[in-house]
């Protein structure tokens, strides 16, 4: 998803169509677009404020873990009662701080999850003696799981591709369909003929500071906590596991997929870090816990007829040096001392994943498979990345995966992919489009931003679809209706914005003075003064005209990207950045009620929106 794109650009738009014009924030930024971000629910703000500091408070979870260990060793409820008597008063104090933070029925309980532990009633009647001694206390022991809802808790040590099937239920149903515009799962989706209308569930299985800023709010700049790597390092393994597992449990729930289906979507893109599969010496990441939550989420998607696009968002070593890869700073993937090793590790991970998702149960469901999100090819040896892509493609195919394989444009510019990798069957090019990470596009006024979406991006999609002028099959895997880069932590933790001219990268990990943008870049040229106040306001404070514009801007992009293979919006929900949350947009009327029924397309007239302030 989003990263900090270290460099601005003053190239012309003609030049932008040929090569990338920005890498300032981790997503594409030429005519090809930029990178993604996210929003949140106003009604939960009070609850989130109550929980902001709580995720760093571990006494309750430490004691819960101790009670479970006593139960496993002793086997008696008496031992549990004794421990409860010892801790009842301090636990009451902690719970009082957490009260009100329980996730809602529609999911999205905040970065630290809900305050009440899931019932885990499916463990009732299951004997802890059924768990082999060597598996007790490991990720295969369901009595150590925070949440067991809809998971099979019968122990099995069986693996596929070296990956555990523990938690999977034996039966599944592929007769469901997302809506009447698409076929049920057990019938073929005609990719390239019917558009993908998909949703990203960002900030779930790998963290992004602008999606869930509460994870990072409790730290100062001296702590240096700017990404999942530094966060889990600071927390330590016990607290990190407890905290992140609660987040995995509450941020995305079954109701999330139900709502996504109800909003007219037919696909879900699931970003995840490599630590869901494995970790390496020195890694602070929580190992393998995200795996079972991903598998459960995939099954919930099945229930609502939603096909899956798997997305490896964080590769070993970091493929782009942006915070959403797990570790901000230097690129250690296909670059530096361990670059080749990390490239090989990534292919090994793909062999495991592709073998696992080649099982019959996933044939109709996991139809798209991403190799690596946003490799920053403008900073890497592009030939090495292309060679790696071919090797990874072959590894996935040799492991049995027959669906669509997705690779990123690497910010090279779509036109530059003509003639590359075109011999690889069923390969799809993924571009991420955002106007806000591009200093040439963020300054466009309201009329011109819509016009650019309808003109520039539509033309680009059509060129890219034609193998004579582009690669061929092309998808927009991330985009947003945000028209500023004002969202908190969007450009890195504690870093400002291009809009206000406060983007100071010089003292951030991996940043430099070259990444600074210290002159305001809103359409007024700072006269009147560029301000983030209006852009960061609650949707209830938006004017009717601004809501109309946001809706039209979103629908224009949908129309444009459907000239290719379709699109995935970034993202479903955030804690507070409204223009990055499709869910918030639905509630506020700035998104179409159904993704396939829209009031505007690019054949229509675009108002001048002259009454809208251009500085906020």
Give the catalytic positions in this structure: 374, 478
599 CB-side CA count, 13 A: 12
Tokens of 435: 């106007």
Strand segments (E) across 281-416: 307-314, 366-370, 404-408
Backbone angles phi, psi at 553, to 5 degrees: -65, -40
Tokens 């809506």 locate to 179
Output the DSSP codes for 47-99.
HHHHHTTGGG--HHHHHHHHHHHHHHHH--HHHHHHHHHHHHHHHHHHHHHHT
CB 159 within 8 A of CB 135: no
Q: Cα–Cα distance between 170 and 149 in angstroms, integer?
A: 15
Tokens of 195: 């558009």
- For residue 432, CA distances in Å to 76, 137, 352, 409, 412 come to 55, 41, 27, 8, 11
- For residue 152, CA distances in Å to 75, 129, 249, 270 come to 22, 17, 16, 22
Closest CA to 231 of 280, 284, 289, 287: 284
Cis peptide before 284 (omega within 30 of 0): no
Q: Cα–Cα distance between 410 and 320 in angstroms, integer?
A: 9
Backbone angles phi, psi at 343, to 5 degrees: -65, -40
């Amino acid at each position: 998803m989003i990263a900090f794109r270290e460099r601005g650009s003053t190239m012309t738009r003609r030049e932008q169509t040929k090569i990338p014009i920005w890498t300032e924030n981790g997503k594409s930024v030429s005519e090809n677009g930029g990178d993604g971000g996210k929003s949140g629910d106003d009604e939960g703000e009070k609850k989130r404020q109550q929980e902001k500091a709580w995720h760093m408070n571990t006494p309750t979870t430490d004691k819960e873990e101790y009670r479970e260990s006593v139960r496993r060793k002793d086997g008696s409820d008496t031992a549990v009662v004794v421990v409860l008597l010892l801790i009842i008063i301090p636990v009451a104090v902690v719970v009082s701080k957490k009260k009100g933070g329980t996730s809602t029925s529609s999911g999205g309980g905040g970065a630290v999850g809900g305050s009440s532990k899931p019932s885990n009633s499916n463990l009732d009647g299951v004997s802890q003696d059924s768990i082999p001694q060597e598996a007790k206390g490991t990720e295969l022991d369901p009595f150590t799981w925070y949440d067991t809802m809809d998971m099979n808790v019968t122990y099995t040590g069986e693996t596929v591709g070296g990956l555990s099937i523990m938690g999977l239920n034996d039966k599944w149903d592929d007769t469901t369909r997302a809506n009447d515009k698409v076929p049920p799962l057990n019938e073929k989706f005609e990719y390239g003929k019917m558009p993908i209308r998909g949703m990203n569930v960002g900030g779930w299985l790998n963290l992004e500071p602008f999606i869930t800023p509460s994870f990072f709010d409790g730290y100062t700049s001296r702590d240096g906590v700017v990404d999942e790597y530094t966060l889990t390092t600071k927390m330590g393994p016990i607290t990190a596991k407890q905290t992140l597992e609660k987040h995995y449990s509450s941020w995305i729930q079954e109701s999330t997929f139900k709502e996504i289906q109800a909003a007219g979507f037919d696909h879900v893109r699931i970003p995840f870090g490599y630590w869901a599969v494995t970790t390496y010496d020195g890694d602070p990441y929580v190992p393998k816990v995200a795996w079972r939550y991903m598998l459960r989420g995939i099954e919930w998607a099945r229930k609502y007829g939603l096909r899956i696009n798997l997305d490896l968002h964080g590769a070993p070593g970091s493929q782009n040096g942006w915070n959403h890869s797990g570790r901000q700073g230097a690129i250690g993937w296909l670059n530096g001392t361990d670059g080749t090793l990390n490239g090989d590790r990534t292919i090994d991970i793909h062999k495991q994943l592709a073998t696992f998702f080649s099982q019959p149960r996933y044939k109709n469901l996991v139809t798209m498979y991403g190799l690596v999100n946003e490799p920053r090819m403008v900073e890497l040896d592009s030939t090495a990345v292309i060679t790696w892509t071919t090797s990874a493609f072959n590894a996935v195919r040799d492991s049995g995966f027959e669906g669509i394989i997705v690779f990123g444009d690497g910010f090279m510019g779509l036109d530059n992919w003509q003639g590359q990798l075109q011999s690889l069957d069923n390969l799809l090019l993924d571009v991420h489009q955002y106007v806000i990470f591009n200093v040439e596009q963020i300054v466009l006024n309201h009329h011109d931003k819509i016009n650019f979406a309808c003109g520039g991006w539509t033309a680009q999609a059509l060129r890219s679809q034609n193998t004579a002028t582009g690669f061929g099959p092309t998808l927009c895997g991330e985009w947003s209706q945000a028209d500023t880069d004002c969202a908190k932590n969007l450009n890195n933790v504690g870093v400002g914005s291009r809009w206000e001219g406060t983007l100071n990268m010089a003292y951030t990990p991996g940043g430099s003075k070259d990444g600074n943008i210290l002159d305001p870049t809103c359409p007024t040229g700072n006269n009147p003064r560029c301000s983030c106040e209006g852009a960061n306001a609650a949707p209830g404070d938006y004017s009717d005209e601004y809501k109309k514009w946001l809706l039209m801007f979103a629908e224009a992009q949908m129309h444009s990207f459907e000239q290719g293979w379709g699109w995935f919006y970034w993202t479903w929900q955030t804690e507070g950045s409204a223009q990055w949350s499709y869910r918030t947009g639905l509630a506020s009327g700035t998104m179409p009620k159904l993704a396939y029924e829209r009031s505007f397309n690019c054949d229509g007239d675009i108002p001048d929106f002259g009454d809208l302030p251009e500085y906020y």
